[in-house]
Amino acid sequence: MTTLTENIKNKRKEKGWTQRELADALGISDKTVSRWESGVQVPDALILPDVAKLFGTTVSALYGESGGEEKSENFTDIGEKTIQPAKPLINKKRITVFKIISVAGMTVLILATMLLCNLDIFRGSIDPYNEGVRNVYFGVFGFATVILIINKMLFMLYYQKKDRFQPIYLKTDISFSAPAMMIFCAVTLLILPFLHSISFSLWYVAAVYLICIGCIFVMIGMKQDLRKAGVSVGKAVSVVSLILAGVTVLAFFGAAAGLYFAMPTHEILVTEEGIYTESIPENLRQTVSYIRSSDYLHYSYFVFLFSSAPLLGALLMNMIELMIKKDKLKE
């Protein structure tokens, strides 16, 4: 007859769980599990039913008793009495860490955006101090974005390794990752381009559009995971969102052509002496800066907003569908 501690160790290894995973599921420390398995300590009688339930067996079986066992709710009859595999363990600590980092990252993104807007509105002309502060704000915004991306990737890799379609992992990922992506895309599409401190250009537009379209594909991937987890998710929203993304790309190329071929830029020369002229001598082209007219910038912003609308609509449609469908997951 094997001892209680040996049975716990053997059952744990059969499930492929680590001591830490078993401890997290029971709400105790991994050191306690280690002491059980080494025989230094015996599990408390109050926690043994929980241990037996996790392993899909009974307390009597854990003690090594072969007779008089009561069938637990995890037993099933298939010709003879066998043990049904227990559900995968849920690492609640990992879920909590993911939630905290996600909320903190989204909060920092919003605060950094508000500070950038405040600095842009009230700064007047850019002096060295404000320039430095602006760079700090942008650094904080970028840092929060990187942290959110890393947090999302690590969590996704974790739950795909443990149990890709475990409802609580999928629901947590969708609940926090989808809003984070929506906030980032909304800020970069609707707010940052209109700050005076942003170098608005077609390169900025192309980079932002590429990231936003990537977010759409990530959301579509989440919906695919929901389908594999047993949730009925239609494909209409995904198809429409891809069409809207395509419209945005076409609008971008159309706008680029319009900006460079259809509308003159009215280049203005600014010399070091502060002399303004519309003529641009060849010998000064490498030593002066060029400023586009306000009409050109207004046209650029209008086209940007017009071409961004389908992309924002696609992102919003996917996020709303994800938030609705995730609640149909059965834990």
- Which tens digits make up the pLDDT trace of 26-54? 778 888 888 888 888 888 777 888 888 88
CATH number for 27: 1.10.260.40
CA 224 to chain centre: 16
**pLDDT (0 to 100) of residue 298:** 62
CA 261 to chain centre: 39
Residues 21 and 51 in one domain: yes
At 146, the pLDDT band (50, 70, 90 cuts) reads: very high
170 within a domain of the structure (yes/no): yes
**pLDDT (0 to 100) of residue 300:** 67
Residues 61 and 116 in one domain: no
Which of 32-36, 102-106, 114-118, 192-196 is predicted least confidently?
192-196
Residues 111 and 58 in one domain: no
**pLDDT (0 to 100) of residue 178:** 93
**pLDDT (0 to 100) of residue 319:** 94
Residues 8 and 126 in one domain: no
146 within a domain of the structure (yes/no): yes
Task: Enter the pTM of the model.
Answer: 0.63
**pLDDT (0 to 100) of residue 238:** 92
Residues 320 and 193 in one domain: yes
**pLDDT (0 to 100) of residue 317:** 94
Helices (H) and strands (E) in the chain, counts: 11, 5
Tokens matching residue 159: 């739950």
**pLDDT (0 to 100) of residue 30:** 82
Residues 154 and 303 in one domain: yes
The single-letter code of the amino acid at 299 is: Y
**167-200: per-residue pLDDT in tens?**
888 889 999 999 999 999 999 888 888 776 676 6
169 within a domain of the structure (yes/no): yes
300 within a domain of the structure (yes/no): yes
Locus of tokens 């915004």: 141
The single-letter code of the amino acid at 184 is: F
In this predicted structure, the answer to whether residue 9 has a pLDDT above a threshold of 60 is yes
Residues 18 and 105 in one domain: no
289 within a domain of the structure (yes/no): no
319 within a domain of the structure (yes/no): yes
Q: Give residues with Cβ within 8 angstroms of 211, minimum separation 6.
A: 184, 185, 188
More confident residue, 127 or 276: 127
For residue 158, the enclosing domain spans 92-217+294-328
274 within a domain of the structure (yes/no): no
The C-alpha angle with vertex 218 and arms to 97 and 320, in degrees rounded to 5, equals 85
Q: Give the integer Cα–Cα distance in Å for 212 and 152.
A: 16
| Among candidate residues 258, 238, 243, the one with its CA nearest the CA of residue 304 | 258
Residues 161 and 108 in one domain: yes
Residues 312 and 211 in one domain: yes
**pLDDT (0 to 100) of residue 315:** 93
**pLDDT (0 to 100) of residue 10:** 86
Instruction: Classify each residue of 165-194 as buried b or exposed e, where b means 16 or more C-beta atoms within 10 Å of its C-beta.
Output: bbbbbbbbbbebbbbbbbbbbbbbbeebbe
**208-263: per-residue pLDDT in tens?**
889 999 999 999 999 988 888 788 888 999 999 999 998 888 877 776 676 565 54
Residues 303 and 156 in one domain: yes
**pLDDT (0 to 100) of residue 318:** 94
Residues 18 and 129 in one domain: no
Residues 106 and 168 in one domain: yes
The C-alpha angle with vertex 117 and arms to 111 and 120, in degrees rounded to 5, equals 140
Q: Give the integer Cα–Cα distance in Å for 80 and 276.
A: 94
**pLDDT (0 to 100) of residue 273:** 46
21 within a domain of the structure (yes/no): yes
**pLDDT (0 to 100) of residue 19:** 85
In this predicted structure, the answer to whether residue 5 has a pLDDT above a threshold of 60 is yes
Please say whether the beta carbons of 172 and 98 come within 8 A: yes
**129-143: per-residue pLDDT in tens?**
466 777 888 889 999
Locus of tokens 């002496």: 273
- Which of 37, 62, 83 delimits the end of a domain? 83
Give the total number of structural domains in the chain.
2
**pLDDT (0 to 100) of residue 291:** 41
Q: To the nearest whole number, what is the mean pLDDT of the chain?
A: 76
In this predicted structure, the answer to whether residue 316 has a pLDDT above a threshold of 60 is yes
